[in-house]
A and B are shown apart, each in its own frame.
Chain A
């Protein structure tokens, strides 16, 4: 690189926005005849949108499937612009679970919830790691629904609506925790529940996934969706719950 090229590059970087990161594809929507607007969840830049030129082409369409791990380079003239992505595939996940209806419902629910809940361009590195682990489980282990429950708890916690499941809000005991208070999101023991038991939610348990998801769903809907001004959660989560209830 000559001195002149180097100076031009420095000037370009000073005037333009550019970053590289790894991301999980949450959605892809056709834009014009050849391009696509994608939404990705990245480690350092959070949920981010951008245009992929040729994203609707035959070559790119199989790569831009939900859940795919992508190497991304984002460029824009100004930070406020939507910008464009250059995309390199790292790993495809959708193709591995196309025949598994439950895993496919899980992938849909994860992507829909992230798109629904995360603010744009705010990094959530811890949630990114938990999401990567969950997606790894989704494609490799039938035990992934247990991890999904933990992921929803992590999502609530990351966005400021975390449940305190460490000890009973009434007695302070750490054992025999079987309820969660719908008002405070704190655990309640059998002894502490007393006559309020029928008004409390079941404690999330890996042995009963559907019941656990109804509890996390309560907080996702009443706390998170309410704070976002939405009336309900994405339908994809409801479809996952009904698939799990059928098991």
Chain B
């Protein structure tokens, strides 16, 4: 049986390493690109090449950008005194998708983890302290995952910022929009009950 050979096989193997793709879906994607060479494959190849050269971490917040300072950090409108701390760039992009937060971000690059031996010095926590001091921050919002490691990191940062005069807040935890109580785990229900509010 003869399949695609040489470069095409190598491309399929590379595509199959991307999240969400396996060998079969990578093969389909590559075949689709070859069929749409002019409208899809060539623009994609040149975009990949451009991004491979220009993508870097923002020196201020850790966001991924094609410039030294990302668009959010460069915008004066976003300097409203609030700083949202997230674990990863994917979380920053998720927050931006909501379009609700108008301040700036700080990407930690991970969370404290006993399992992976990640300590405070492996994260961008010292940089966070510096930013709070220098950028006139009044509120730090800890938008970290509601996991043991995420909340351990949140408490650690809150301790680190204690005495600096900034308000430290965290995202609420509870019933997701569209969530049905019957399908929620008991931990989420108990967190939601503790965070109940008057209507």
Contacts and interface: CB of A to CB of B under 8 A. Distances in A.
A65 B191 CA distance: 14
B185 interface: yes
B148 A96 contact: no
Contacts, number: 65
A89 interface: yes
A65 B188 contact: no
B7 interface: no
A29 B173 CA distance: 23
Given A91-B186, A95-B191, A101-B155, A235 B146 contact: no
Given A104-B155, A108-B148, A96 B187 contact: yes
A62 B115 contact: no
A94 B148 contact: yes
Interface residues of B, number: 24
B130 interface: no
A115 B186 CA distance: 25
B186 A89 contact: yes
Contacts of B112: 239
B101 to A, nearest CB: 22
Nearest to B146: A98
Interface in A211-235: 234-235
A33 B19 contact: yes
Contacts of B155: 101, 104-105
B188 A33 contact: no
Contacts of A153: none
Interface in A28-76: 29, 33, 61-63, 65-67
A101 to B, nearest CB: 4
B115 A92 contact: no
A208 B76 CA distance: 52
B99 interface: no
Q: For the side of the interface on A, what is the size category? A: 20 to 34
A101 B157 CA distance: 11
B126 interface: no
A180 to B, nearest CB: 27
Given A33-B19, A234-B114, A235-B119, A98 B185 contact: no
A113 B158 CA distance: 25
Nearest to B119: A235
A105 B152 contact: yes
B119 A95 contact: no
Contacts of A105: 152, 155
8 contacts: A63-B185, A89-B185, A95-B188, A96-B190, A98-B146, A101-B155, A105-B152, A239-B112
The 9 closest A-B pairs by CB, nearest first: A95-B187, A92-B187, A101-B155, A236-B114, A112-B114, A62-B185, A66-B148, A27-B115, A98-B151
Given A95-B187, A108-B148, 13 more contacts: A33-B19, A62-B187, A89-B186, A92-B186, A92-B187, A94-B148, A101-B155, A104-B151, A104-B152, A111-B114, A115-B114, A115-B115, A239-B156
